[in-house]
Amino acid sequence: MRRGFWRGLIACGLLGCITFGCGHLATENTKQIVQETNVAQLLTEAKDNQIAKDLWNLGNSYLDSQRYQEAISAYDRAIAIKSDSAETWVNRGNALTALQNYQEALISYDRAIAIRPNKHEAWYNRGNALTALRRYSEAVKAYDESIAIKPEKHEAWINRGIALTKMQSYKAALASYNQALTIRKDLHQAYYNKACNFALQNNIESTIENLSKAIQLLPDKYRKLAQTDSDFDQVRNNQQFQDLIQGN
């Protein structure tokens, strides 16, 4: 009985070794399969990434050519393959903005921000879409986010000033324009918008001063624009203003 007991233990021990050995071989085979699967996945992902990049480049070429609907189609195809590209979402939003589809553009910019919260272009263009929708307070907040990420972006300072002017926050708007001019002293857009701001306040002296600077930089553009811009209605009959826009 005792000898049989030990034989049983030995038999169980051998069986255990054999089972362990088979298990070890099975693990090795599993590792090989997993490795091969991972390589296949990496190759597939690399191929998909390249296709998405090619479609992004195609969309950009359509965008540059002002073929906006075709650009959106290319971006949509890229997003179907790779949905986490903030750049693709931003440019899709830009194409929609060009088509004046501002509400849909906001969705694209928001998707870009969800992927990359520090994407200043997404915040800036979101501000532009909101300004176009006359949602000026929200636009200012979007510009603030863009500026917080990239303080030297003078376009954001100018467009922030425009939104503030629309809100009749004239002093804050002037501060934005002046900040843009500290970044670049030849910003004709900043001088022109400062002139609009002062004209809305019926400040003829400051209107003439800033409009003169804008006209010095781009004479034809700003003389023509000031002739019909409703922001100048309060000062339109002033002789100095008329002489300036007529080139006298």
pTM over the 0.85 mark: no
Per-residue confidence (pLDDT) for residue 49, from 0 to 100:
81
**110 found inside a domain:** yes
**231 found inside a domain:** no
**80 found inside a domain:** yes
Q: pLDDT digit string (tens) for 178-210?
A: 999 999 999 999 999 999 999 999 999 999 999
Q: pLDDT digit string (tens) for 101-129?
A: 999 999 999 999 999 999 999 999 999 99
DSSP 218: S
Residue-range definition of the domain harbouring residue 65: 49-117
Share of the chain above pLDDT 90, in %: 77
Q: pLDDT digit string (tens) for 67-87?
A: 999 999 999 999 999 999 999
> Using CA atoms, how far apart are residues 146 and 140, in angstroms rounded to an integer?
10
DSSP 186: T
**217 found inside a domain:** no
Residue 100, phi then psi, degrees to nearest 5 = 65, 25
> Using CA atoms, how far apart are residues 156 and 149, in angstroms rounded to an integer?
11
Task: Quickly list DSSP for 18-72.
Answer: HHHHHHHHHHHHHHHHHHHHHHHHHHHHHHHHHHHHHHHHHHHHHHHTT-HHHHH
As for how many domains the chain has, the answer is 1
Q: Which of 115, 112, 189, 134 lies closest to 124, judged by CA? A: 112
> Using CA atoms, how far apart are residues 219 and 188, in angstroms rounded to an integer?
10
Lowest mean pLDDT segment, chosen from 5-9, 95-99, 112-116, 194-198: 5-9
> Using CA atoms, how far apart are residues 28 and 86, in angstroms rounded to an integer?
41
Judged against a pLDDT cut of 70, whether residue 143 lies above it is answered with: yes
Q: pLDDT digit string (tens) for 222-248?
A: 999 999 999 999 999 999 999 999 987
**91 found inside a domain:** yes
**112 found inside a domain:** yes
Residues with Cβ within 8 Å of 25's Cβ and at least 6 positions away in sequence, in order, are none
CATH number at residue 78: 1.25.40.10
**151 found inside a domain:** no
> Using CA atoms, how far apart are residues 224 and 29, in angstroms rounded to an integer?
78
**168 found inside a domain:** no
Q: What is the dihedral of CA 124, 187, 133, 167, to 10 degrees?
A: 110
> Using CA atoms, how far apart are residues 123 and 133, in angstroms rounded to an integer?
15
Judged against a pLDDT cut of 60, whether residue 66 lies above it is answered with: yes
